[in-house]
Structure 1
Amino acid sequence: MKIESLYPPHKANMADKKDSTFKDEFLSNINIDENLISIIVAVVVIFITLGIFFLWRRKKLSRRSVLVMGLCDSGKTLLFTRLLQNKFVLTYTSMKENTGDFISNKRSLKIVDIPGHERIRAKFYDQYKLSARGIIYVIDGVTIQKELRDVAEFLYTLMTDLNSISYNLPVAIVCNKQDQTMAKGSTVIRSLLEKEMNMLRVTKTSQLQSTLDGSDKNTFLGKKDKDFSFDHLYPLKVEFMETCAMNKNADNPPDLESVMSWLAKVA
Structure 2
Amino acid sequence: MSSLRHLIPRQLVIADNEYLTLLILSALLVLAGIVDYLSVNFSIRSKRSSKNTILLTGLPSAGKTVMHYQLSSGKTVETVTSMMENEADVVLTDGKAATHVVDVPGHERLRFKFSEFMPIAHAVVFVVDSSTVSRQTRFLAEYLYDILSDRFAQSERIPILIACNKSDLLTSFKKERIQTLLEGEINKLRQTRSAALDTQDSEGNENTFLGFEGKDFSFQDLENDVEFLECSAENKDIEGIKDWMASVSL
Distance 2:115 2:222 in 1: 22
**Residue 81 of structure 2 corresponds to residue 93 of structure 1:** yes
Matching residue's letter, 2:98: S
Distance 1:205 1:144, change over 3 A: same
Structure 1 length normalisation: TM-score?
0.69
1:116 counterpart (94, 106, 118): 106
Residue 107 of structure 1 is matched in structure 2 by 97
In the alignment, the residues of structure 2 paired with residue 232 and residue 92 of structure 1 have an alpha-carbon distance, to the nearest angstrom, of 36
Does the Cα contact within 8 Å between 1:69 and 1:114 map onto a contact in 2? yes
Partner of 2:150: 161
Partner of 2:173: 184
Q: What is the TM-score of this pair, normalised by structure 2?
A: 0.73
CA–CA distance in structure 2, aligned partners of residues 131 and 207 of structure 1: 26
Q: CA deviation at 1:206?
A: 3.2
CA contact (8 A) 1:162 1:168 kept: no
- Residue in structure 1 matching 2:186, options 192, 197, 206: 197
**Whole-angstrom CA distance in 2 between matches of 1:127 and 1:228:** 27
The 2-side partners of 1:163 and 1:200 are apart by 20
| CA–CA distance in structure 2, aligned partners of residues 164 and 95 of structure 1 | 24
CA distance in 2, matches of 1:146, 1:101: 34
8 Å Cα contact 1:74-1:139 kept in structure 2: yes
Distance in structure 2 (CA, Å) of the matches to 1:164 and 1:89:
31
Letter in 1 for 2:116: Q
CA–CA distance in structure 2, aligned partners of residues 165 and 260 of structure 1: 24
The 3 A distance-change label for structure 1 pair 164 and 266 is: closer
Question: How many percent identity over aligned positions?
Answer: 39
Change in 2 beyond 3 A, CA 1:127/1:134: same
Q: Distance in 2 between matches of 1:111 and 1:188?
A: 28
Q: Write the letter of the residue equivalent to 1:84.
A: S
The aligned residue for residue 241 of structure 1 is 229
Aligned length: 195
For residue 127 of structure 1, report the CA deviation from its aligned partner: 2.3
**Which secondary structure does the structure 2 equivalent of 1:104 belong to?**
coil
d(CA) in 2 for partners of 1:179, 1:159 = 28
Please report how far the alpha carbon of residue 163 of structure 1 lies from its aligned counterpart in structure 2 after TM superposition.
6.4
Q: Does 2:52 align with 1:70?
A: no
Structure 1 residues not aligned, in runs of 5+ = 1-60, 248-253
1:59-83 Cα deviation digits (max 9, x unpaired):
xx92011010000111000011111
The 5-angstrom pairing of residues 1-267 of structure 1 reads: 62-105=50-93, 106-122=96-112, 124-162=113-151, 165-208=154-197, 219-234=208-223, 236-247=224-235, 254-267=236-249
Runs of 4+ in 1 over 2 A off after TM superposition: 162-165, 206-209
Distance 1:88 1:259, change over 3 A: same
Deviations 1:109-155 (A, max 9, x none): 00000000111121x22321111111000000011010110000110
